[in-house]
Amino acid sequence: MSIAIPNRQLFINGDWKVPALGKRIPIINPSTQQIIGDIPAATKEDVDVAVAAAKAALSRNKGADWASASGAVRARYLRAIAAKVTEKKPELAKLEAIDCGKPLDEAAWDIDDVAGCFEFYADLAEKLDSKQKAPVSLPMDTFKSYVLKEPIGVVGLITPWNYPMLMATWKVAPALAAGCAAILKPSELASLGEICKEVGLPPGVLNILTGLGPEAGAPLAVHPDVDKIAFTGSSATGSKIMTAAAQLVKPVSLELGGKSPIVVFEDVDLDKAAEWTIFGCFWTNGQICSATSRLIVHESIATEFLNRIVKWIKNIKISDPLEEGCRLGPVVSEGQRESGKKEPSPGRCICFHALGFFLYEKILKFISNAKSEGATILTGGSRPEHLNKGFFVEPTVITDVTTSMQIWREEVFGPVLCVKTFSTEEEAIDLANDTVYGLGSAVISNDLERCERITKAFKAGIVWINCSQPCFTQAPWGGIKRSGFGRELGECTSLMNRGAGTTLPQRCDTYLRAEME
């Protein structure tokens, strides 16, 4: 299955622009390890031009072209983008699979979600019109008060490579719906620029800059005319962005790393629970920040349950993501040479090198360290024997883990599941919360009253009940602790309007339960 790799430029002010310094970065196909193209490498000079274009877009025609246009006007553009995405789905899905190594079927589902996300925020954009100047009840009749919803302004959106187009859409769609102008720093191949040009989006409303973190992402984070930064990536990078933005008292929203638990009780259907456990950890080749990569299983079923998991894993087809039936592709890039010198992931460096180093060699090092610390590699742990090229890692299960081990405490960002057993509900809760992260968590049990107790005890922004990883545009997404703050998706996204959010000091956690019949 062949596909032409597009020759990208920067997308600024509604047109394609050559980067100011003419720099480009090679792109490597993680399945073949071959260079398949290159992308422009933006620098501070390009960031300045893009920010100026976004700022001008907001003030053009006294704001009537975009910022103060009705929500219904903006909704028409969002729906046009959704329709174009659907039209181009076969091409976009193949580019996603080539770009980050995820199976083609998964990439196609992502593109469906992209279109659905634009449609959802088109609906919300229209609803904004009826909410304008909502009256506020006051204790004195001599005063009147109302709330005016306004766009935040120019927003910088920095997104990762594991969901190239979808993660960009999670930020772009609500920003455009609210009337903001955006500078998107995405992964490389899956660009919205061509689609936005085709639907006639006003120039400067969305600008797209690819490039290396220090040269493009960092200048975007500290630019004085960028009113907000929204970032998805590692906790370490999020901390740096937060520090940079603080110098200008600039708001940020951060969706960061995770080391999420999945707790399995003794009363479950073992096959169903095994399927959700495998899906929760190995989906997107394990390269997902919310992966439930810490299995906490009741001691009475542990042996049989792990046998079922190993049996499931043996049936997973590991191959080039474009092959029919592929269920696990390569991780995104090599990341480290045998010399030990860290090599930047070509074209995949987000701001301050956000996710690009959670890669092939690092994953294998995690597995090796776990073994040296006394853990047992129950299955997997190396390159599949039938594949001699590409950054492939077998789905791996590690047992005999202690809570002090690196494999228990740190995010691997690969297809690696570590396991501990428990005997009591209290012990399971303690193990689940034994992490500095707080993005996702899951519990599987037929006792729904117990599930209710467990979910209230979990310290995480997203809780799955009898499932793991389902995500819907309608429900808020985000974490607590070192997994960040702010929410994406749903109506309470942090990118919809200036001052958006609850008026009470409460979190906006999301609970999702699957029916187990």
- The 3-class SS string of 251-305 reads CEEEECCCCCEEEECCCCCHHHHHHHHHHHHHHHHHCCCCCCCEEEEECCCHHHH
| 462 alpha-carbon distance from chain centroid | 14
Of the candidates 96, 188, 255, 394, the residue annotated as catalytic is 255
Q: Identify the CA nearest to 231 among candidates 485, 24, 510, 491.
A: 485
C-alpha distance from residue 202 to each of 12, 13, 181, 197, 342 (Å): 11, 8, 10, 9, 41
* DSSP secondary structure letters along 403-429: TTSHHHHS---SSEEEEEEESSHHHHH
Q: 409: which residues sit within 8 A by CB, 6+ positions away?
A: 259, 403, 435, 436
Q: How far apart are CA 179 and CA 73, in angstroms?
A: 10
Q: How far apart are CA 395 and CA 414, in angstroms?
A: 9
Mark whether 394 is an active-site residue: no
In the chain the first and final C-alpha atoms are separated, in Å, by 39
- Count the alpha carbons within 13 Å of 383 in the hemisphere toward its beta carbon: 12
Coil, helix or strand at residue 29: strand
φ, ψ for residue 54, nearest 5 deg: -65, -40
Q: Identify the CA nearest to 67 among candidates 148, 133, 130.
A: 148
Identify the H or E element spanning 234: none
Q: How far apart are CA 236 and CA 410, in angstroms?
A: 12
C-alpha distance from residue 92 to each of 33, 41, 171, 232 (Å): 21, 22, 18, 21
Contact 169, 182 (CB under 8 A): no
Q: How far apart are CA 295 and CA 134, in angstroms?
A: 47
CB-based burial, 324-362: b 16+ in 10 Å, e otherwise: eebbbbbbbbbbbeeeeeeeebbbbbbbbbbbbbbbbbb
Q: Identify the CA nearest to 35 among candidates 25, 43, 45.
A: 25
Q: Identify the CA nearest to 352 among candidates 260, 245, 437.
A: 245
The residues carrying an active-site annotation are 255
